[in-house]
Structure 1
């Protein structure tokens, strides 16, 4: 592990325009932690590697693991129709056709509820026709997850159940949250906390009780493709708009520990982990076709070993956590600016120096 190269790669992301970022890389027993830039652009407070951070859809690995625990316990069948468990939320033929597995790997054909919940972004992902107004209008709105699910379930389908490629959709994971509540008799946040977070021994990870991040943390700066200039701090935000599909707060050290415990068989059994690594093609929120498993996806440089994990974004914050299949090499990175790319005349994000610098950081972290 080249510590000098890691320090330089991290600093290059900051110099490319990222206000602040921090990371942890593990190679066997060797651990490197680094930070570059500021946690607060107003005060100049520096970022440190131990800060808490909203990690967005990395939460989905936690939720998927919780579902597979219930599969192992015999309370959920992966290939059973969701209508068996949640007939009121997914009624009729659709409830009979969509299986639990299709929700976890995003092949249900259910669309994203997000553009219906955020009116100024109805054209998403036609980004040129969107605006950031809803970010402020709904900043302190308390959403009911059942209402959000209804927005997705009643909207026009984006594919046939089980069809490929699937479409990445938070509607799927909000349904899994309700499924966990149905079969365990407790709120998904509580179940995941007791049976995933605490089982992994994570001390700085949890679902926020309110709008703020408890403990030391960075501000979260949202640029919305240059439409918010200068970028605005959204670290205080009601996260009920995503719930336990993307609202987790964690640290880079905790994320690495979680994936290490997961791949060591300490969270789910070997057969469940194998199921999590069975991938299908899914169209991401950025419009790219990717391989996706059950709350995990693979990542690799050409000709190099495959890593598994998940990335996530929220308003102003982002994170990526990856582990090599043998569990020996890991990285977790957190950044405090999102949607830094401006849009071209057709509404597509333009390349930015941050993109190339992050790619170089990931490559250095994973392969040295």
Structure 2
């Protein structure tokens, strides 16, 4: 792992730390305040923005998405899939990423980074990515559980926000969620480069890329309202603290966000997912709410204990370091488990 940086908050006290390098060529160190691509933590902010529209009476959680987007989700599917199903990944709409990046699916020639490189500066339109997910075999029936995690859901939610507000989704989320929450270093990127101090982001692609390749310069149109945000660990802790305290959405909306269902994540594990966030139960340690995010070369986790007294956000600048299929135990996994346990205030026996 080239570099890791984090912020922990505990009952009013704050610790920030960093270890390792942001650039393998120069040895430039990572620092705790660096900006980072936070991946699917974006989904919590998108869900909050949708719930702000629910509070305003412009969207109903259990309304068919076809009521708002009949051109994108037509016919019976548009009538069967609701806004809530998109938010909690029970829509049954498939993930589009293997179709936008066909080389990662493998096949006769094996997994390669060809499509990652081909798409580095490609400008995708949300409608074309959504069409890929809708054309793929469904992952399940609408409303069935366990749900199956799909970024297609959150691109549709971005289009929903655009349709009901008359404003580009990224602009509305910035105005309705990012700015009111006081997130000073959080934004959707306007181009392939991150503005401000940041690390390079190294992708190993399950060992296919050796040495890992830097993908910190990348056009994020391939996943903008699914996983496109750039932020800091301080901002992510601030956001989840204010969300839990009822300062981002109304208490009724926060209660809806915490209604979880089982969802099969992209790595094949089953998580308890609400509306844009998931629940982590650690026996003897407590209930935590938050999210995990990955993109090419970048990983982030942000969790807050249900009583609001303990928070942990960390970022890493290498992804998919382990092999495909059923990977063997890896030292990085053990180190991250130790870090998470200590940062969340859990003993190792409780965490394991």
TM-score by length of 2: 0.96
Give the deviation of 1:127 after TM superposition.
Answer: 12
User: 2:14 matched to 1:31?
Assistant: yes
Counterpart for residue 101 of structure 2: 118
CA distance in 2, matches of 1:130, 1:283: 22
Q: Output the CA distance in 1 between the equivalents of 2:105 and 2:166.
A: 35
- Count of aligned pairs: 346
Q: 1:128 to 1:101 in 2, by over 3 A?
A: farther
Instruction: Supply the distance in 1 between the matched residues of 2:211 and 2:85 (Cα, whole angstroms).
Output: 40
Q: Is the 8 A contact 2:111 2:208 kept in 1?
A: no
Deviation string 1:120-151 (CA, Å, 9 cap, x unpaired) is 1235xx99942222111111111011000011
1:187 to 168, 189, 197: 168
Asked if the contact 1:222–1:231 (Cα under 8 Å) also holds between the matched residues in 2, the reply is yes
The yes-or-no answer on 1:158 pairing with 2:139 is yes
Is 1:107 the counterpart of 2:90 in the alignment?
Answer: yes
Matched, 1:261 2:239: no
> Quick one: distance in 2 between partners of 1:40 and 1:33?
20
Mapping of residues 36-115 of structure 1, within 5 Å: 36-115=19-98
Determine if contact 2:130/2:155 at 8 Å carries over to the other structure. yes
Q: How far apart, CA to CA, are the structure 2 residues paired with 1:258 and 1:161?
A: 31
Moved over 6 A (4+): none
Distance in 1 separating the partners of 2:34 and 2:4 = 10
Could you tell me whether the CA contact under 8 Å between 2:147 and 2:263 is conserved in 1? yes
Per-residue CA shift, 1:190-244, capped at 9, x if unaligned?
A: 0010110000011110001100000000000000111101111100001000012
Do residues 133 (structure 1) and 114 (structure 2) align? yes
Alignment match, 1:225: 206
Question: CA separation in 1, counterparts of 2:190 and 2:109?
Answer: 34
Q: Paired residue for 1:8?
A: none
Structure 1 unaligned runs (5+)? Answer: 1-17
CA distance change for structure 1 residues 127 and 77 in 2, over 3 Å: closer, same or farther? farther
- Structure 1 residues 270 and 88, CA, compared in 2 at 3 Å: closer, same or farther? same
Structure 1 residues 159, 140: closer, same or farther in 2, change over 3 A?
A: same
SS at match of 1:50: coil
Provide the C-alpha distance between the structure 1 equivalents of 2:303 and 2:79, rounded to a whole number of angstroms: 35
In structure 1, what is the Cα distance between the partners aligned to 2:153 and 2:108? 23
The answer for the alignment partner of 1:6 in structure 2 is none
Helix, strand or coil: the match of 2:17?
Answer: strand
Distance, in Å, in 1 between the alignment partners of 2:159 and 2:193 is: 24
TM-score (norm 1): 0.92
8 Å CA contact 1:225, 1:349 repeated in 2? no
Flag structure 2 segments of 5+ consecutive residues without an equivalent: 347-352
Deviation at 1:262, TM superposition (A): 0.6
1:187-336 superposed matches below 5 A: 187-336=168-317
In structure 2, what is the Cα distance between the partners aligned to 1:317 and 1:146?
25
Cα distance per residue 1:265-317 (max 9 Å; x no partner) = 11101111011011001100001111100001011322321110001001000
Aligned to 2:2: 19
Do the aligned partners of residues 161 and 83 (structure 1) sit closer, same or farther apart at CA in structure 2, a change above 3 Å counting?
Answer: same
Give the equivalent residue in structure 2 for 1:352: 330
The alignment yields a C-alpha RMSD, in angstroms, of 1.3
Change (3 A) 1:128 1:310: farther
